[in-house]
């Protein structure tokens, strides 16, 4: 049995944190986890409810919420606080006799390096982010690509797209593996799903965090073309999780009001997105820069939804063009509109895509596969020390 410490700087309910939750609650007795979070919140609460050992060691809010691209004189102060915080965690890890440290965010990766060194145990970085511009400033991406070669003993990337940005292909160290975040629920259409042919609008669903790079504005632009069609509705599920996203959310609401987009519903945060997917006909994914993976795409495919997604990053590895959905260039509202129109006009092909999507999830993206891959990776890293 391995005692593994999992570190994350946030307890928000977002993509990387959902992936961590799914992993932890499906581990077997061969792994004994201890989760150390830098703040309290939904992730901590949900893990505690499932009996996971969670410790909340609060990190200074200014360090936790610091924009990863900010390079100013406050960086030195934040780095010093993160260093002290890492040493504090390191003392706890020595007391708990952990076998390795598994970090789940970029900020946790750096203070986790301090903690792992102090505890004298190997360090695994689990990378959920594209390490290149425009997601990161070029200088920040270069720094991370440098540190990734010297700080961690192992790297887990959430997609080939993410791994390729680390520039590790020519080096056998650190040890590397690609593990897709997976679906942990029921893969298949629910009996409660509304039958085809029922008198109801065609529902296009976009689900996920509200943020400029997530591209909700692209969907609004496409929705303008359907304003006179009462048979098509657009649902946007999700909320702004970070301060910098609040202004973008206000812009979306203002656009809906000014353009009188009565066919668009902003649903805000939704606890049970699966229920929305059971009511939807199509899932769209509109990120305007390459998405590292695309967890919500897996959830939609598992519910039998075809997907229209940007042809870049992780979605390109998930969606098979013209088999489980359609891939289009990112940020092109006119092409998104055409893809939605095609889905509306071709119900039989759409249903076949949904069936293939469910089968693809069952073959490649179930949680058991993810757990087994990560469990197999731990001995490789721990045993090499």
- pLDDT in tens for each of the 385 residues of the chain? 899 999 999 999 888 999 999 999 999 999 999 999 999 999 999 999 999 999 999 999 989 988 877 766 678 888 999 999 999 999 999 999 999 999 999 999 999 999 999 999 999 999 999 999 988 999 999 999 999 999 999 999 999 999 999 988 766 678 999 999 988 887 776 644 555 555 789 999 999 999 999 999 999 999 999 999 999 999 999 999 777 789 999 999 999 999 999 999 999 999 888 899 999 999 999 999 999 999 999 999 999 999 999 999 999 999 999 999 999 999 999 999 999 999 999 999 999 999 999 999 999 999 999 999 999 999 999 986 6
Backbone angles phi, psi at 134, to 5 degrees: -90, 0
CA–CA separation, 46 and 39 (whole Å):
14
Cα–chain center distance at 223: 25
The torsion angles phi and psi of 260, rounded to 5 degrees, stand at 55, 50
Number of H helices, E strands in the chain: 15, 13
Q: How far apart are CA 275 and CA 292, in angstroms?
A: 25
Distance of alpha carbon 306 from alpha carbon 206, whole angstroms: 12
Q: 10 Å Cβ neighbour count for 212?
A: 16
- Token digits for 305? 């939804």
52's tokens: 């996971």
Rounded to an integer, what is the distance from CA 64 to the centroid of its chain? 18
Would you state the structure tokens that stand for residue 370, as one six-digit string? 């993810």
Neighbouring C-beta atoms of residue 55, cutoff 10 Å: 13
53: alpha, beta or left? (left if phi > 0; alpha if psi -120 to 50): beta
Q: Which residues pair with 265 in a beta bridge?
A: 235
Three-state secondary structure call for residue 45:
helix
Residue 32: which residues within 8 A CB-CB, separation 6 or more? 1, 2, 3, 4
| Tally of residues, the chain | 385
Instruction: Evaluate whether 206 touches 234 at the Cβ level (below 8 Å).
Output: yes
DSSP codes joined into one string, 43-108: HHHHHHHTT-EEEE----HHHHT--TT--STHHHHHHHHHHHHHHHHHHHHHHHT-SEEEE-SHHH
Q: What is the C-alpha separation between 133 and 65, in angstroms, rounded?
A: 20
Specify which residues 7 forms β-bridges with.
36, 103
> What pLDDT score was predicted for residue 192?
45
Contacts of 141 (CB under 8 A, 6+ apart): 131, 132, 133, 135, 165
Adjacent-strand bridge partners of 352: none
Q: What is the pTM of this model?
A: 0.90
Nearest-5° angle of CA 66, CA 151, CA 148?
Answer: 70
| Domains of the chain, earliest start first | 2-182+366-383 (3.40.50.2000), 202-364 (3.40.50.2000)
Closest residue by Cα to residue 356 from 331, 385, 310, 323: 323
Return the number of other C-beta atoms located less than 10 Å from residue 121's C-beta.
Answer: 23
């Amino acid at each position: 049995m391995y005692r593994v410490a999992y570190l994350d700087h946030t307890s928000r309910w977002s993509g990387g944190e959902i992936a961590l939750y799914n992993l932890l609650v499906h581990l077997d007795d061969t792994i004994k986890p201890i989760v150390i979070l830098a703040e309290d919140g939904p992730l901590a609460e949900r893990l505690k409810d499932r009996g996971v050992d969670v410790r909340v060691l609060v990190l200074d809010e200014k360090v936790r919420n610091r924009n990863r691209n900010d390079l100013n004189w406050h960086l030195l102060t934040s780095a010093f606080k993160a260093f002290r915080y890492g040493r504090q965690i390191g003392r706890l890890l020595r007391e708990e006799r952990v076998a390795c440290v598994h970090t789940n965010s970029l900020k946790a990766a750096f203070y986790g390096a301090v903690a792992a060194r102090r505890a004298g145990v190997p360090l695994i970085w689990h990378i959920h982010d594209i390490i290149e511009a425009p997601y990161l400033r070029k200088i920040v991406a270069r720094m991370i690509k440098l540190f990734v070669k010297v700080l961690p003993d192992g790297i887990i990337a959430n997609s080939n797209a993410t791994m390729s940005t680390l520039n590790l292909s020519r080096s056998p160290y650190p040890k590397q593996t690609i593990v897709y975040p997976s679906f942990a629920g029921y893969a298949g259409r629910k009996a409660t799903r509304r039958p085809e042919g029922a008198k109801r609008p065609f529902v296009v669903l976009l689900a996920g965090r509200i943020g400029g790079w997530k591209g909700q504005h692209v969907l609004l632009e496409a929705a303008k073309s359907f304003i006179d069609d009462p048979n098509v509705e657009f649902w946007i599920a999700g909320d702004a999780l970070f301060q910098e996203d609040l202004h973008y959310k206000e812009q979306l609401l203002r656009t809906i009001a000014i353009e009188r987009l009565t066919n668009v519903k902003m649903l805000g945060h939704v606890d049970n997105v699966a229920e929305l997917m059971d009511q939807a006909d199509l899932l769209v994914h509109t990120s305007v820069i390459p998405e590292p993976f695309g967890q919500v795409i897996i959830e939609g495919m598992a519910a039998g939804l075809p997907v229209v997604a940007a042809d870049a990053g992780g979605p390109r590895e998930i969606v098979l063009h013209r088999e489980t959905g359609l891939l289009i260039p990112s940020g092109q509202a006119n092409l998104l509109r055409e893809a939605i129109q095609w889905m509306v006009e071709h119900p039989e092909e759409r249903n076949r895509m949904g069936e293939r999507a469910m089968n693809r999830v069952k073959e490649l993206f179930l949680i058991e596969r993810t757990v087994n891959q990560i469990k197999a990776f731990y001995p490789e890293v721990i045993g090499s020390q």
